[in-house]
Amino acid sequence: MDRRRCKCQRCGMNIAAPIGAQTIICPRCQSVTQLQPPRNNSFANFPPANNNMRPEFSAYPARPRRMSPNVNNNFHPQKFNRPMSPQINNIRPPAVHGRKRAVLCGINYRGHAKSLKGSINDALSMRYFLVEKLGFPIASVIVLTEDEKDPYKYPTKANIRSALRWLVHGCRSGDSLVFHYSGHGAQVRDRDGDEIDGHDESLCPVDYETEGRILDDEINSTIVRPLAPGVILHGIIDTCFSGTFLDLPFLCRINRAGYFKWEDHRIRAYKGTSGGTAFSISACDDHQSSGDTTAFTGVPMGALTYSFIQTLEQETKLTYGRLIMNMKNKIQEAQKGLGLNGANETQEPQLSSSEPFDIHSKLVAI
Choice among 204, 240, 252, 284 that is catalytic: 240
What SS3 state is found at 45?
coil
**Coil, helix or strand for 281?**
strand
| Residue 176 CA neighbour count, 13 Å, CB half | 9
Which of 56, 53, 52 has the alpha carbon at shortest distance from 4?
A: 56
Strand-pair partners of 7:
14
Assess contact for 238 and 182: CB atoms under 8 A: yes
The residue type at 89: N
CA-based nearest residue to 214, from 141, 147, 163: 163
DSSP category for residue 94: P
Return the number of other C-beta atoms located less than 10 Å from residue 342's C-beta. 8
Tell me whether residue 171 is one of the annotated catalytic residues: no
Q: How many CA atoms lie within 13 A of 283 on its CB side?
A: 33
Supply the DSSP symbol for 159: H
Peptide bond into 61 cis (omega under 30): yes
* CB neighbourhood size of 161 (10 A): 16
Q: List C-alpha distances in Å: 276 to 108, 113, 166, 194.
A: 32, 40, 17, 22
Of these residues, 8, 29, 112, 184, which one is catalytic?
A: 184
Residue 240 annotated among the catalytic residues of the structure? yes
Residues 113 and 104: their CA atoms lie apart, in Å, by 24
| Closest alpha carbon to 245 in 115, 161, 117, 353 | 353
Residues known to be catalytic: 184, 240
